[in-house]
Amino acid sequence: MIPTKEVFAIDESEIHALIRDGRGGRHELMRILARAREAKRLTLSEIAALLRVEAPQDLAAIFAAARGVKEQVFGKRIVLFAPLYLSNRCANNCLYCGFRRENREAHRRSLSIPDILREAACLFELGYRRVLLVAGETPGEASLAYLCRAVEAIYRETPMPIVHVNAAPLSVEGFRRLKEAGAGVYQCFQESYHGSTYRRMHPSGPKRDYTWRLSVMDRAMEAGFDDVGMGVLFGLYDYRFEVLSLIAHARHLEQTYGVGPHTVSVPRLQPAPGAALSEAPHPVSDEVFRKIVAVFRLALPYTGVVVSTREGASLRDDVVRMGASQISAGSRTDIGGYADGAARAGTQQFSLSDSRSLDEMVHAVLDAGLLPSLCTACYRTGRTGEHFRRAAESGMLQEHCLVNALLSLAEYLERHGSAESRAVGVQRIAAALENVSDEALRRRLIDRLDRVRQGEADLHQ
Ligand code: SF4
C-alpha cells in the first residue's frame, strides 16, 4: 500500500491483516501513547493496536492521551459552525440517505440564490461566522455553476466571512472554478473504503464509481484546495477497517502534497426518512465512537475532528473533552430550514439527535470548561493548508488563537448571546485575560468585555 502521486488505492488484505494482528498488551499500549503524546506520527500497525483496545482502564488511557494532544495543539477551543443545505435533488441512490433518487416521498427543493442569501443572512444574525454548503449530486455544468454562484453570492451579499463546501467529486477544472469562487474547505466523505460495501450501498448514479470518489482529494489538491475535509459513514462496515483506511488515505495526502486533511468527520449512520437502510449493518456503540474520535486525534494530531448533530447531546459533550475540535450547532438538514422553518422546508437528509441552538451550544461548551470559537482569522489571513500545519506544529495556535477565540466569543455574546451564555462567557473571558500578555490585544479584549457587560446591564434595566 505505497501511495504514488498517480493512484491511491486501498490494499484491503493489508488492512485486514493489521486488524487481525494479535500484538498488543498494556506495555505496548503505553509505548504507543507516549509517542502519540509527543504528536509523533503513528504507524498503521500502532493505530490498529489502539483500535483493538477494549478494557475500560486502557480506553481511559487512550481518552486521557487524546485530551492531552487536543489541548496541546488546539488549546481549549471548540470551533462552532452550521451546515447550509442547498438542494435535496440527487442523481444517486445511496441506501442510507433521505435524498436518494428513489425516495418518491421526498419533498424536493433547490434553493434559489435569493433563498440561499436569506439562509446565510439568517445564520449570520444568529451569530454563525462559517457555513458549510451541502448539496445532493446533480452532475453537469449547471450544478457546478450553481455551487459557484452560491459561494460568490454569499460573500458578495452577506457579511458571512467563511463558506466551506461539501459537494460531489469534481474534475480538476471544476475544483479550480470552485476555488476561484472563494470556497474555503472542500469536504467529501468516502462513506466506506471497503469496495464491495461501497458498491452495495451505492447501487446507481455517478457515486457508484468508487475510484472516482477515492481520487477526489488528489484532484481537489491539484486544483489548489489546500484544506480538504475527509470522512466515512460509520456503521456501513467494520469501523477498524474504515479508520485505518482513512488514515492511510490521509498519509497519502501528507506524502504527496505536504499536508494532510484539514478535518476528519465521523458521522454515524442515523435513520433517514425514505432511506432504504434503516439499521446500520455494522453498528458502532457510543463507547466505540468515543474510541474512534480519540484514535483520530492521536493519529492525526493537527487535523480537526468534526462531530455533527447526528450524535446526541451527552455524547457530544463527552467527545469535545477527548479530541473533537469542531462541532456543528443548531443544524437544519432540511432545505431552507433556517429562514423558512420546517413547514416550507424540503425533506431532511437524516434525523438529528442534538437540537440545541448555537447559543445553547456556546453555553454547553463553556460549561465543559472549554472555549467556543467563532473565529475566522485563519481564512481571512490565508493561514490555510501547510501554513496552518506549521502554525499548529510551532504551538502558535495556542497563543494566537486563544485571543482570537476570546475576541470572537465576546463579539458573539455582545450581539447574540442570551443572558445565560453572557453570564458564563463574561466570567470565562475575564479569567482568561491573565494569560494574554500582548498589551494591545488585552486592551481590545477588555473593551469588548466592557461592551458585553454594558449590554447585560442594559438588559436588566
Ligand atoms: S448521500 Fe449524497 S449522494 Fe447519496 S443520495 Fe444522499 S445526497 Fe445523494
> Residues 316-341: pLDDT tens digits?
999 999 899 999 999 998 899 898 77
Same domain, 440 and 362: no
Of the listed ranges 255-264, 268-277, 348-357, 394-403, the least confidently predicted one is 394-403
Closest CA to 156 of 186, 113, 123, 110: 113
Same domain, 353 and 400: no
The ligand 1 site (C-beta within 6 Å) comprises 90, 92, 94, 97, 99-100, 136-137, 207
Ligand 1 mean position, distance from CA 403 (Å)? 39
Pairwise CA distance, residues 432 & 75, whole Å: 12
pLDDT at 395 over 80: no
Same domain, 114 and 210: yes
Domain end point (choices 341, 374, 407): 374
Q: How confident is the model at residue 350 (pLDDT cuts 50, 70, 90)?
A: low
Same domain, 349 and 422: no
pLDDT at 81 over 70: yes
Does a structural domain hold residue 213?
Answer: yes
Tell me what the mean pLDDT of segment 42-64 comes to.
97
pTM: predicted TM-score of the whole model, two decimal places: 0.93
> What pairing do the DSSP bridges indicate for beta strands 130-135 and 371-373?
unpaired
Position 461 scores a pLDDT of 58
Ligand 1, atom 7, lies closest to the CA of 136
Position 22 scores a pLDDT of 74
What does each C-alpha distance from 339 to 80, 335, 353 come to in angstroms? 19, 10, 21
Does a structural domain hold residue 25?
Answer: no
State the chain's maximal CA–CA distance in angstroms. Answer: 69
Ligand 1 mean position, distance from CA 84 (Å)? 15
Tell me what the mean pLDDT of segment 100-112 comes to.
92
pLDDT at 287 over 60: yes
Tell me what the mean pLDDT of segment 273-284 comes to.
93
If one residue of 109, 134, 137, 333 were mutated to test the ligand 1 pocket, choosing by the most ligand atoms within 8 A of its CB, it would be 137
Tell me what the mean pLDDT of segment 170-196 comes to.
97
Task: Ligand 1, residue 91: give the atom nearest the CA.
Answer: 8
Of the listed ranges 28-37, 200-209, 428-437, the least confidently predicted one is 428-437
Of the listed ranges 68-82, 179-193, 251-265, 432-446, the least confidently predicted one is 432-446
Does a structural domain hold residue 58?
Answer: no
Task: Ligand 1, residue 101: give the atom nearest the CA.
Answer: 5
Same domain, 335 and 441: no
List Cβ neighbours of 79 (8 Å cut-off, separation of 6 or more): 130, 304, 325, 326, 327, 373, 374, 375
Does a structural domain hold residue 28?
Answer: no
Ligand 1 mean position, distance from CA 104 (Å)? 14
Tell me what the mean pLDDT of segment 207-236 comes to.
97
Q: How confident is the model at residue 346 (pLDDT cuts 50, 70, 90)?
A: low
Same domain, 304 and 424: no
Position 139 scores a pLDDT of 84
Same domain, 331 and 451: no
Domain end point (choices 340, 374, 408): 374
Better-predicted residue by pLDDT, 384 or 451: 451
pLDDT at 403 over 80: yes
Does a structural domain hold residue 379?
Answer: no
Ligand 1 mean position, distance from CA 141 (Å)? 18
Position 441 scores a pLDDT of 85
Position 1 scores a pLDDT of 46
Q: How confident is the model at residue 284 (pLDDT cuts 50, 70, 90)?
A: very high
Does a structural domain hold residue 17?
Answer: no
Position 342 scores a pLDDT of 60
Position 122 scores a pLDDT of 96
Position 3 scores a pLDDT of 44
Pairwise CA distance, residues 70 & 79, whole Å: 13
Same domain, 297 and 355: yes
Same domain, 337 and 430: no
Pairwise CA distance, residues 204 & 95, whole Å: 10
CATH number of the CATH domain containing 288:
3.20.20.70
Domain end point (choices 374, 408, 440): 374
pLDDT at 4 over 50: no
Ligand 1 mean position, distance from CA 286 (Å)? 25
Same domain, 290 and 411: no
pLDDT at 459 over 80: no
Same domain, 320 and 396: no
pLDDT at 249 over 70: yes
Q: How confident is the model at residue 390 (pLDDT cuts 50, 70, 90)?
A: confident
Q: How confident is the model at residue 345 (pLDDT cuts 50, 70, 90)?
A: low
Mean pLDDT of the chain: 91
Does a structural domain hold residue 274?
Answer: yes
Written as nine digits, the cell of 424 is: 458564563
Written as nine digits, the cell of 18 is: 493489521
Ligand 1 mean position, distance from CA 88 (Å)? 8
Ligand 1, atom 4, lies closest to the CA of 94
Task: Ligand 1, residue 202: give the atom nearest the CA.
Answer: 4
Same domain, 339 and 409: no
Ligand 1 mean position, distance from CA 137 (Å)? 7
**Number of folded domains that form the chain:** 2
Residue 156 buriedness (CB in 10 A; 0-12 / 13-18 / 19+) = exposed
Tell me what the mean pLDDT of segment 297-317 comes to.
95
Ligand 1, atom 2, lies closest to the CA of 136
Better-predicted residue by pLDDT, 18 or 399: 18
Domain that holds residue 412: 385-459
pLDDT at 137 over 80: yes
Position 2 scores a pLDDT of 43
Does a structural domain hold residue 14?
Answer: no
Tell me what the mean pLDDT of segment 140-151 comes to.
93
